[in-house]
Amino acid sequence: MIYTDTRDSSIKADFKTAVMGGMNQKTGGLYIPVEFPKLDKSLLNKDPAPSFRDVAFNMAKPYVEGEIPDGDLAEIIQDAYPFQPKIVPLDSVSYVMELFHGPTCAFKDFGARFMARVMSYFNRNEDTPLHILVATSGDTGSAVGSAFHGVPGLDVTILYPDGKISPLQEKQLSTFTGNVRALKVKGTFDDCQKLVKTAFTDTELRGKLRLSSANSINIARLLPQSFYYMYTALTVKNRCKIDNKILDPAIIMVVPSGNFGNLTSGLIAREMGAPIEGFTAATNTNKTIPDWIASGEYNARPSVETYANAMDVGAPSNYERIKAMYSLEEVRHLFASYWQDNDGIIKAIQECKDKTGYTIDPHGAIGFAAWENIKNGGMEALVNGQKNDPNKPGLTPSIPDWANKVITKEAVGVILETASPAKFGKIVTDATGHEPPMPARLEEVMRLPDRAIPMENDYNQFKDWLLANL
């Protein structure tokens, strides 16, 4: 497979170059496949649906062809995924895709574990370590730290915004030893991301250190996240025959979105043949993409702190990939967009618990609120000309092609639950009156000592630290 650059389509690279470089150091662009191969119809039409590992192997194979033999790829998949998504029905036309059954209880485990093993595979014959730099707004860092901890030939530095993530999330970042360490930056996630991006384009630094990324800017983290979209879409399609008697359901993926890597992975799955009719981009107050869809103007902005902190991203990196894959009009045909403020997040957590008995985290809660709005008259109101004020929480005034299938009751929604509610215990407890159960693997982390290193939001200080300590 050939990969190109979102900022310069004349650039061509193989999978190894794209993975190990993270992003193009000359242009600052992101790597993207030149094509998205279709899965074989025999796999897409299998009943019962194929296993998660079968889906993962078949989806990954064309992207690594000629660089990772089938046997080695199968071993990577086997080692990366001792867990899989869990699909939970809320009602006859609403499902939750639980993505928190990995070691750090967040969806980032799916991408990070695959990426770590691919990077280690490509680095196996090198004399020097590959240094991974990653900015995180919450769950990315812990997933990357866990996935890369103790992996040969790899070294990880995680940057996170000091005081702007939950205590449990911070514990998951600040307690690593050995080849993984965390820097707590006096700033926002966007500041952390800027420090990392600047490092990647610093010719002097890259001349001394072999650098790569583990954010969703890295194609090796983005591609494996498409696996669970395909697996879930195929599974839900088969389930609908029994759950709701809809033989050809219009499956709408409702995606809590910050940096938009997760949603971009869904787009890749759809391009490869997943029976996904469309998407709902569900954001918090950091609504850069909903505003773009509504107005046609893309205006990155400083991030705003919310209860759904992993989505506190004002300048989503994967906007570049979405724009490279689709025109604005195509996006409008495919996407609904929705945003919610902090009050709405609390209300959604409470309503989800009261209506369904399901405890949802603040990020999934925005997805729940979006789908409830869509299926209970919000989309029909848009179609009938009752457009919302884009400055107020709710659906933005853009009507996707699948709108009528919601109205005619042919659509089902799949809400991505991206992290365990236990990671946001106080918020969930305040909303529901009940403390969410704490998985044992998270209880263990809370007992470990903090080792995070303070860092100013200053690139020169960051660079000096890297050169002195790596």
Catalytically active residues, by annotation: 108
Length of the chain: 470
Scanning the structure block, which residue is given the tokens 């209300």? 347
Name 192's Cβ contacts closer than 8 Å, sequence gap at least 6.
Answer: 135, 136, 137, 159, 160, 161, 185
End-to-end Cα separation, the chain, in angstroms: 33
d(CA 12, CA 174): 38
Q: Where are the beta strands (DSSP E) in 319-393?
A: 335-339
d(CA 398, CA 293): 7
Q: Could you please report the per-residue DSSP string of 258-288?
A: SSSHHHHHHHHHHHTT----EEEEEE-S--H
d(CA 334, CA 315): 21
d(CA 343, CA 389): 18
Beta bridge partners of 131: 155, 211
